[in-house]
C-alpha cells in the first residue's frame, strides 16, 4: 500500500515515540514502573511479559552468524518462562544492549517487528478502508502501543465506518478518541503517552497525509538523509585491543568500550554497557584492577580490554 519511503517514515514516527530516535534505538533496554510488559528491549520495545522478547531472541539465536547468540541462549529458558527476576538482571540487560552492535540483531529486529506489528497493521488498515500513509501510521502506532481493536470499535460507535465518513475524518476522530482514552487511563505511564496523539494531530492539522519528506516530529527531523544513516548508539568498531581506553574529552565511544563493560558486568561489577568510557567506566575498571592486585589506574590497555571482552 505504501512506498518504501512512506513505510520507513511511518515507522520512523513510531520509533520516535518509542525510543526518541528516528531510526529506533536497537539497544534500548527499558523498565517502566507499573508496565505489565516488564523488561522491554529494542527498536519497537518488545517485552518479556508478552512473550515477544523470547521470540525475538530465539529468532536471533537461530542465525549461525549471531555474535551474541550463544550467550543469550543461556538466558532464553528464563525469558521464555517470563522470569520476572530478569527485570533486574544487569548482565542480561548489557548483553541485549551489546547485541544491537551486531548487524544480525538489527536485521532480526527489523524482520521481527515487521512480522509482529507492521504487516498486521497494514492488513488492518486495508480492511478498514484506510490507505493514506498518515492513516496507516496511526494504525501501526496502535499495534505497537496497544489496544487497537478497542479504540477502533469505540471510534466506529462514535462516528461510524470509514466508508460512511471518509478516512481523513475517521482517522481524525480516532486520534481524538485514543487521546481521551490515554489521558484518562488509570496507569500513569499510559497517561504520559498522550504526546503520541498530539504529534499525529499536528500532522493532521498540517495536512501531511502523504508523509512527504522532510517532516519534523517531536523536534526530530525525518529526511532521506537521516533515514539512510547508521542507527545512533550502534557501534561497528573499534575492535577490542585496537586502542587503550582512558578518560578523555570527548569521551571514547565504541564497540571495544561496550564489550569491556559487558565483561565487567560478567564479573559482578555494576555497570551499564552504553559504549561510552566515562567516569563510571573508570571507577569500575579501577574496582576490577584493585580486586585483582593490579595498579588501579582506571586505564584499560589493549591487552586488558581483550581479556575482559573475551
- pLDDT, one tens digit per residue, over 68-90 is 999 999 999 999 999 999 999 99
pTM: 0.87
- Residue appearing with cell numbers 577490542: 240
What does DSSP say about strands 40-41 and 29-30: parallel, antiparallel, or unpaired?
A: antiparallel
pLDDT tens digit string along 94-110?
999 999 999 999 999 99
Interatomic CA distance for residues 126 and 248, integer angstroms: 54
245, pLDDT greater than 90 = yes
Mean pLDDT of 151-161: 97
Q: What is the percent of the chain where pLDDT is above 70?
A: 100
Mean pLDDT of 27-48: 90
1, pLDDT greater than 80 = no
238, pLDDT greater than 80 = yes
Q: What is the mean pLDDT of the chain?
A: 96
Domain boundaries, the chain: 4-227, 252-309
pLDDT tens digit string along 166-195?
999 999 999 999 999 999 999 999 999 999
Task: Using pLDDT thresholds of 50, 70 and 90, give the confidence band for residue 230.
Answer: confident
Dihedral over Cα of 206, 208, 214, 216: its sign? positive
Give the pLDDT score at 232. 85
Nearest 5°: the CA angle 59, 63, 66 is 100
| Three-class SS state of 216 | strand
Mean pLDDT of 22-34: 90
Interatomic CA distance for residues 89 and 41, integer angstroms: 13
Best CATH choice for the domain 252-309 from the list 2.60.40, 1.10.101, 1.25.40, 1.10.3470: 1.10.101
Q: What is the percent of the chain where pLDDT is above 90?
A: 95
Rg of the Cα trace of the chain?
A: 22
Strands in the chain per DSSP E:
29-30, 40-41, 46-47, 215-217, 220-222, 252-253, 276-277
Task: Using pLDDT thresholds of 50, 70 and 90, give the confidence band for residue 29.
Answer: very high
Give the pLDDT score at 246. 98
Give the pLDDT score at 109. 97
Give the pLDDT score at 32. 81
Task: Using pLDDT thresholds of 50, 70 and 90, give the confidence band for residue 286.
Answer: very high
Give the pLDDT score at 44. 86
* Torsional class of 68: left (φ above 0), alpha (ψ -120 to 50), beta (otherwise): alpha
Give the pLDDT score at 54. 98
Mean pLDDT of 48-68: 97
Interatomic CA distance for residues 176 and 205, integer angstroms: 13
For 191, residues 6+ apart whose C-beta sits below 8 A from its C-beta are 182, 183, 184, 185
Residue 150 CB neighbours (<10 A): 13
CATH superfamily label, 4-227: Chitosanase, subunit A, domain 1 (1.20.141.10)
Q: 16: number of CA atoms within 13 Å, CB side?
A: 22
Mean pLDDT of 117-127: 97
Backbone angles phi, psi at 223, to 5 degrees: -145, 170
Cβ proximity of 220 and 15 under 8 Å: no
Interatomic CA distance for residues 217 and 208, integer angstroms: 12
Amino acid at each position: 500500500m505504501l512506498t518504501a519511503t512512506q513505510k520507513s517514515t511511518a515507522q520512523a514516527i513510531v520509533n520516535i515515540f518509542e525510543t526518541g530516535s528516528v531510526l529506533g534505538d536497537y539497544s534500548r533496554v527499558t523498565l517502566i514502573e507499573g508496565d505489565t510488559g516488564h523488561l522491554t528491549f529494542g527498536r519497537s520495545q518488545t517485552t518479556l511479559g508478552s512473550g515477544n522478547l523470547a521470540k525475538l531472541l530465539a529468532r536471533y539465536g537461530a542465525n549461525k552468524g549471531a555474535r551474541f547468540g550463544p550467550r543469550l541462549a543461556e538466558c532464553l529458558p528464563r525469558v521464555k518462562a517470563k522470569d520476572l527476576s530478569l527485570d533486574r538482571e544487569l548482565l542480561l540487560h548489557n548483553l541485549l544492549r551489546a547485541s544491537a552492535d551486531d548487524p544480525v540483531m538489527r536485521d532480526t529486529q527489523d524482520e521481527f517487528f515487521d512480522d509482529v506489528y507492521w504487516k498486521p497493521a497494514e492488513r488492518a488498515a486495508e480492511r478498514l478502508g484506510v490507505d493514506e500513509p498518515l492513516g496507516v501510521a496511526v494504525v501501526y502506532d496502535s499495534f505497537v502501543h496497544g489496544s487497537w481493536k478497542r479504540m477502533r470499535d469505540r471510534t466506529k460507535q462514535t462516528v461510524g465506518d470509514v466508508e460512511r465518513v471518509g478516512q481523513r475524518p475517521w482517522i481524525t476522530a480516532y486520534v481524538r478518541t485514543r487521546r481521551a482514552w490515554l489521558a484518562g487511563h488509570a496507569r500513569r505511564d499510559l497517561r504520559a503517552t498522550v504526546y503520541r496523539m498530539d504529534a499525529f494531530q499536528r500532522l493532521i492539522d498540517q495536512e501531511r497525509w502523504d508523509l512527504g519528506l522532510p517532516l519534523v516530529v517531536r523536534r526530530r527531523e525525518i529526511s532521506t538523509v537521516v533515514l539512510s544513516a547508521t542507527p545512533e548508539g550502534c557501534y561497528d568498531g573499534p575492535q577490542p585491543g585496537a586502542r587503550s581506553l582512558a578518560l578523555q574529552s570527548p569521551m571514547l565511544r565504541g564497540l571495544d568500550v561496550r564489550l569491556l563493560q559487558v565483561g565487567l558486568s560478567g564479573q559482578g561489577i555494576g555497570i551499564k554497557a552504553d559504549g561510552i568510557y566515562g567516569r563510571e567506566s573508570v571507577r569500575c575498571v579501577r574496582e576490577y584492577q584493585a580486586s585483582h592486585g593490579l595498579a588501579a589506574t582506571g586505564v584499560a590497555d589493549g591487552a586488558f580490554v581483550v581479556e575482559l571482552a573475551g
